[in-house]
């Protein structure tokens, strides 16, 4: 049960003055992203931090206030000049002066009564707003703030500016946030005293108060002590919840899995190549984990093409030696089928029985797979998340492998945990996530890295080309195809709409068709499963030589003899995505090319990204650059939102806090696994505040 202390923050935002259902709906659009299926709460507003300030400290006097400047003026009201009757478009003017000159405060569609009250003739008032000069006459149209001289202390001289959404006024939002800050109850400190002192962190409530009522623009910088404190809180909540899941997964410990090596050797004998050093290392680490009585919780990180699949197969072979079943989950159906196509022949040579289970298997086919899983006649099953749905029962699932699953929810982990005898878990990711991000996305998992590419790979040449030189490119592609090569043609990413993305792909297909005829194929996310398979098969077998694709479908697809990849509107993609896509080529023994088509002129960040892509193929370097560029995007003001999955923490500013938070969480749970100490109880509050109450429930399930 949530401590009642937190109730004021868990009330719906409509509990605040001036917030009705309409405004609440607008607020829902800008507070924490995970609000999709609940109403916005008062507490959500706390973490909606300003992205800049309006500095109103400039008090130059009327005559010295520059055109366009935000200024605060102390003036004496002289006279009102209402709009002439019947002329709605003429403004209502209030003339006022200070020692330096006279100013017209200008209002359109004014309420005379309100103005007479706010700006009584003969009174001294403080107004703040933007200066405008018309024909040498100073004016201020609709001052942002008007206060009597004796109330002027209440003016926000440094005013926070929040991310807005259409229809929601800054004023309404500021008021709502002010009320939510005022509702913060007296909370015990959950931070370790030492961490707090060393980093000069203010208290939780003080931090929020400071950021929402800044005294200086510095206060709303992510580098301020107040913001860093909140980022640390958020990291700590995240690390605690991941550690709780991990403890639970570990506690439901499986059994040691060992084998005599016969099946593993059988698979190895079937391989047409020998493993790389990093593949061998990863396997030894995995075998050692499997042999231990605690559950394995390991991340296998390896660039695209580094050969994770065969490592997975050899891990599953060991599980089979121990008499158990394995499941390999891929993010898409295409990938699942591809994995099966790669694994099945190798597995068969070692006497292993394989099957596939996705949303597409229906009727008798599906019934047969389910029966085989239930009676243990299937050793290895490959599929999508369908593998872990409730209706699927395993005879003895001992190893669950998840491929290319970048963001892996706690729910999914627990769904897998619920199957079988607490299976060992291996998560494979093709995104070479920097160390710090591994922590946020996966928590404290053991990590194996594949750092080499299989022998015999050629480097990929990367070129950038403006879109207006498309004709030239098409000429080159014609030559390449005549030479027997295969081309992926990736259509632009359109974040706003899958429809438009689809249209872009269809348009490009229609444009290439008259040129290349039957050599062009098309695959996109809206196709039916069988159509997709057919398009992939035709490309793989060389019936088509150019495959036009949207980004959704093809990630991870293996066509080793594809040597060219064209990425349209490359400037719209992030570095990680570009790197992933480029990895579709360079998988065979022939030299490959990646063509990044961009719309010129590219912006600063896009330019940098394209040049990073030209300069390196090292996924870990690219990942670090990505992190840096994201930070810069923010400095350039191009970036709106924070780090995905976080409300206040920005990985590019706060990464240094992560490991401390991880250690802190780990030590706390080691000393107080049930979180019953004074600090443990306080930390439960933190978990609730950052929406990690799922983890609190795990504590109870104990």
Q: Which is nearer to ligand ADP, 279 or 384 (CB)?
A: 279
Length of the chain: 702
Chain Cα centroid distance, residue 408: 11
Q: Which is nearer to ligand ADP, 592 or 647 (CB)?
A: 592
Let me know: does 227 contact 49? Beta carbons within 8 Å: yes
Q: How far apart are CA 518 and CA 514, in angstroms?
A: 9
Residues 414-443 that bind ligand ADP (CB under 6 A): 430
Q: Which is nearer to ligand ADP, 306 or 325 (CB)?
A: 306
Chain Cα centroid distance, residue 86: 55
CB of 413 to ligand ADP, least distance (A): 21
Q: Which is nearer to ligand ADP, 241 or 301 (CB)?
A: 301
Chain Cα centroid distance, residue 504: 25
Strands 52-55 and 158-161: antiparallel
273 binds ligand ADP (CB under 6 A): yes
CB of 538 to ligand ADP, least distance (A): 19
CB of 183 to ligand ADP, least distance (A): 50
Q: Which is nearer to ligand ADP, 129 or 307 (CB)?
A: 307
302 binds ligand ADP (CB under 6 A): yes
Q: Which stretch binds ligand ADP (CB under 6 A): 59-67, 274-282, 377-385, 648-656?
A: 274-282
Q: Which is nearer to ligand ADP, 305 or 680 (CB)?
A: 305
Q: Is the peptide bond before 112 cis (omega within 30 degrees of 0)?
A: no
Q: Quick count: other Cβ atoms within 10 Å of Cβ 136?
A: 5
Q: Which is nearer to ligand ADP, 191 or 310 (CB)?
A: 310
- # residues near ligand ADP by CB under 6 A: 18
CB of 455 to ligand ADP, least distance (A): 6
Among 310, 398, 535, 570, the residue binding ligand ADP under the rule CB under 6 A is 310
Question: Per the structure block, which two tokens stand in for 276?
Answer: 């790389």
276 binds ligand ADP (CB under 6 A): yes
Residues 548-577 that bind ligand ADP (CB under 6 A): 558, 560
Q: Which residue's beta carbon is nearest to the bound ligand ADP?
A: 307
Binding mask 227-266 for ligand ADP (x = CB under 6 A): ----------------------------------------
Taking Cα atoms as reference points, which of 552, 497, 542, 487 lies closest to residue 335? 552
Residues 459-498 that bind ligand ADP (CB under 6 A): none
CB of 356 to ligand ADP, least distance (A): 17
Query: DSSP string of 338-386?
Result: HHHHHHHHHHHHTT--EEEE-TT--HHHHHHHHHHHHHT--SEEEESGG
CB of 588 to ligand ADP, least distance (A): 8
Q: Which is nearer to ligand ADP, 178 or 454 (CB)?
A: 454
Taking Cα atoms as reference points, which of 439, 371, 470, 495 lies closest to residue 627? 439
Q: Which stretch binds ligand ADP (CB under 6 A): 112-120, 271-279, 505-513, 572-580?
A: 271-279
| Distant-in-sequence, close-in-space partners of 453: CB < 8 Å, separation ≥ 6 | 276, 303, 305, 306
CB of 300 to ligand ADP, least distance (A): 9
The sign of the dihedral angle between the CA atoms of 48, 52, 57, 62 is negative
Q: What phi and psi values does residue 98 have, to the nearest 5 degrees?
A: -130, -170
Q: Which stretch binds ligand ADP (CB under 6 A): 84-92, 193-201, 258-266, 303-311?
A: 303-311
Q: Which stretch binds ligand ADP (CB under 6 A): 111-119, 246-254, 269-277, 646-654?
A: 269-277
Taking Cα atoms as reference points, which of 521, 346, 309, 589 lies closest to residue 430? 309
CB of 274 to ligand ADP, least distance (A): 6
306 binds ligand ADP (CB under 6 A): yes
Q: Which is nearer to ligand ADP, 195 or 275 (CB)?
A: 275
Q: Which is nearer to ligand ADP, 12 or 560 (CB)?
A: 560
Let me know: does 325 contact 396? Beta carbons within 8 Å: yes
User: Please, is 530 exposed, middle or buried when counting C-beta atoms within 10 Å of its C-beta (0-12, 13-18, 19+)?
Assistant: exposed
Among 224, 309, 448, 563, the residue binding ligand ADP under the rule CB under 6 A is 309
Question: Per the structure block, which two tokens stand in for 392?
Answer: 């699927």
Among 275, 415, 447, 480, the residue binding ligand ADP under the rule CB under 6 A is 275
Query: DSSP string of 492-511?
Result: PP-SS-HHHHHHHHHHHHHH
Instruction: Tell me if residue 487 falls in helix, strand or coil.
Output: strand
CB of 50 to ligand ADP, least distance (A): 42
CB of 211 to ligand ADP, least distance (A): 43
Q: Which is nearer to ligand ADP, 306 or 332 (CB)?
A: 306
CA-to-CA dists, residue 180 to 9, 34, 184, 612, angstroms: 7, 19, 7, 44
CA atoms within 13 A on the CB side of 35: 22
Question: Per the structure block, which two tokens stand in for 272?
Answer: 């047409």
Q: Which is nearer to ligand ADP, 222 or 619 (CB)?
A: 619
Question: Per the structure block, which two tokens stand in for 380?
Answer: 């290895």
CB of 672 to ligand ADP, least distance (A): 40
Among 41, 210, 298, 308, the residue binding ligand ADP under the rule CB under 6 A is 308
Let me know: does 481 contact 546? Beta carbons within 8 Å: yes
Q: Which is nearer to ligand ADP, 422 or 557 (CB)?
A: 557
| Distant-in-sequence, close-in-space partners of 231: CB < 8 Å, separation ≥ 6 | 222, 646, 648, 649, 650, 653, 654, 657
Residues 572-601 that bind ligand ADP (CB under 6 A): 587
Among 129, 160, 307, 420, the residue binding ligand ADP under the rule CB under 6 A is 307
Q: Which is nearer to ligand ADP, 53 or 553 (CB)?
A: 553
CB of 384 to ligand ADP, least distance (A): 16
CB of 273 to ligand ADP, least distance (A): 4
CB of 558 to ligand ADP, least distance (A): 5
Q: Which is nearer to ligand ADP, 295 or 308 (CB)?
A: 308
Q: How far apart are CA 666 and CA 439, in angstroms?
A: 12
323: left (phi over 0), alpha (psi -120 to 50) or beta: left
User: Please, is 662 exposed, middle or buried when counting C-beta atoms within 10 Å of its C-beta (0-12, 13-18, 19+)?
Assistant: buried
Q: Which is nearer to ligand ADP, 48 or 335 (CB)?
A: 335
Let me know: does 643 contact 434? Beta carbons within 8 Å: no
What does the H/E/C string look like for 48-84?
CCCCEEEECCCCCCHHHCCCCCEEEEEEEEEEEECCC
Q: Which stretch binds ligand ADP (CB under 6 A): 52-60, 132-140, 188-196, 299-307?
A: 299-307
Q: Which stretch binds ligand ADP (CB under 6 A): 142-150, 273-281, 377-385, 569-577?
A: 273-281
448 binds ligand ADP (CB under 6 A): no
Q: How far apart are CA 393 and CA 411, in angstroms?
A: 18
454 binds ligand ADP (CB under 6 A): yes
Q: Which is nearer to ligand ADP, 430 or 565 (CB)?
A: 430
Binding site for ligand ADP (CB under 6 A): 273, 275-276, 279, 302, 304-310, 430, 454-455, 558, 560, 587
């Amino acid at each position: 049960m949530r401590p009642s202390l937190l109730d004021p923050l868990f009330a719906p935002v409509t509990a605040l003055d001036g917030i009705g259902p309409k405004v609440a709906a607008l607020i829902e659009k800008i507070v924490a992203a995970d609000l999709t299926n609940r109403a916005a709460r008062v507490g959500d507003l706390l973490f909606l931090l300003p992205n800049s300030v309006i500095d109103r400290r400039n008090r130059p006097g009327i005559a010295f206030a520059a055109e366009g400047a935000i200024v605060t003026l102390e003036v004496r009201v002289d006279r009102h000049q209402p709009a002439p009757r019947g002329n709605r478009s003429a403004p209502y003017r209030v003339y006022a002066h200070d020692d330096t000159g006279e100013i017209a405060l200008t209002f359109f569609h004014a309420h005379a009564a309100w103005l007479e009250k706010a700006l009584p003739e003969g009174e001294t008032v403080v107004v703040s707003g933007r200066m405008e000069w018309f024909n040498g006459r100073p004016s201020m149209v609709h001052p942002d703030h008007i206060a009597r001289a004796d109330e002027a202390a209440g003016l926000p001289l440094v005013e926070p500016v929040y991310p807005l959404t259409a229809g929601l006024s800054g004023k309404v939002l500021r008021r709502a946030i002010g009320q939510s800050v005022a509702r913060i109850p007296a909370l015990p400190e959950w931070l370790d005293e030492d961490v707090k002192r060393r980093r000069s962190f203010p208290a939780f409530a003080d931090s929020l108060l400071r950021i929402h009522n800044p005294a200086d623009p510095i206060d709303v910088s992510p580098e301020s002590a107040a913001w860093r404190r909140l980022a640390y809180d958020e990291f700590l909540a995240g690390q605690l919840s991941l550690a709780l899941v991990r403890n639970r997964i570990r506690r439901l410990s499986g059994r040691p899995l060992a084998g005599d090596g016969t099946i593993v050797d059988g698979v190895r004998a079937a391989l047409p190549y020998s493993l790389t050093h990093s593949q061998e290392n990863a396997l030894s680490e995995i075998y050692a984990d499997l042999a231990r009585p605690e559950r394995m919780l390991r991340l296998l990180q390896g660039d695209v093409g580094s050969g994770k699949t065969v490592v997975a197969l050899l891990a599953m072979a060991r599980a089979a030696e121990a008499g158990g079943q394995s499941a390999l989950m891929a993010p898409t159906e295409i990938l699942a089928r591809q994995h099966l196509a790669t694994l099945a022949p190798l597995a068969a040579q070692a006497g292993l029985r394989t099957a596939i289970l996705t949303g597409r298997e229906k009727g008798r086919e599906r019934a047969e797979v389910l029966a085989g899983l239930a009676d243990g006649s299937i050793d290895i099953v490959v599929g999508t998340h369908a593998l872990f749905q409730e209706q699927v029962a395993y005879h003895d699932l001992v190893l669950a492998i998840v491929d290319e699953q970048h963001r892996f929810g706690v729910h999914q982990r627990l769904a897998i945990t619920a199957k079988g005898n607490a299976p060992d878990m291996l998560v494979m990711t093709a995104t070479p996530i920097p160390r710090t991000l591994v922590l946020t996305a996966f928590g404290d998992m053991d990590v194996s890295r594949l750092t080499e590419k299989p022998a015999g790979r050629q480097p990929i040449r990367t070129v950038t080309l403006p879109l207006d030189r498309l004709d030239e490119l098409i000429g080159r592609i014609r030559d390449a195809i005549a030479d027997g090569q295969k081309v992926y043609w990736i259509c632009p990413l359109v974040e706003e709409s899958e429809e438009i993305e689809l249209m872009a792909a269809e348009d490009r297909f229609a444009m290439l068709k008259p040129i290349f005829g039957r050599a062009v194929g098309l695959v996109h996310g809206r196709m039916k499963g069988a159509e997709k398979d057919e398009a992939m098969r035709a490309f793989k077998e060389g019936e088509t030589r150019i495959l036009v694709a949207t980004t959704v479908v093809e990630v991870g697809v293996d066509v080793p003899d594809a040597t060219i990849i064209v990425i349209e509107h490359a400037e719209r993609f992030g570095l990680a995505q570009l790197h992933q896509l480029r990895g579709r080529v360079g998988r065979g023994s022939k030299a490959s090319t990646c063509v990044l088509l961009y719309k010129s002129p590219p912006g600063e960040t896009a330019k940098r990204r394209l040049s990073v892509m030209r300069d390196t193929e090292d996924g870990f370097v690219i990942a670090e650059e990505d992190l840096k560029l994201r930070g810069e995007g923010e400095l350039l003001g191009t970036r709106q939102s924070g780090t995905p999955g976080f409300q206040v923490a920005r990985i590019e500013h706060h990464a240094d806090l992560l490991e401390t938070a991880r250690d802190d969480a780990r030590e706390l749970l080691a000393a107080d696994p049930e979180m019953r100490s004074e600090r443990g109880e306080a930390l439960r509050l933190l978990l609730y505040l950052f929406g990690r109450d799922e983890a609190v429930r795990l504590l109870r399930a104990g």
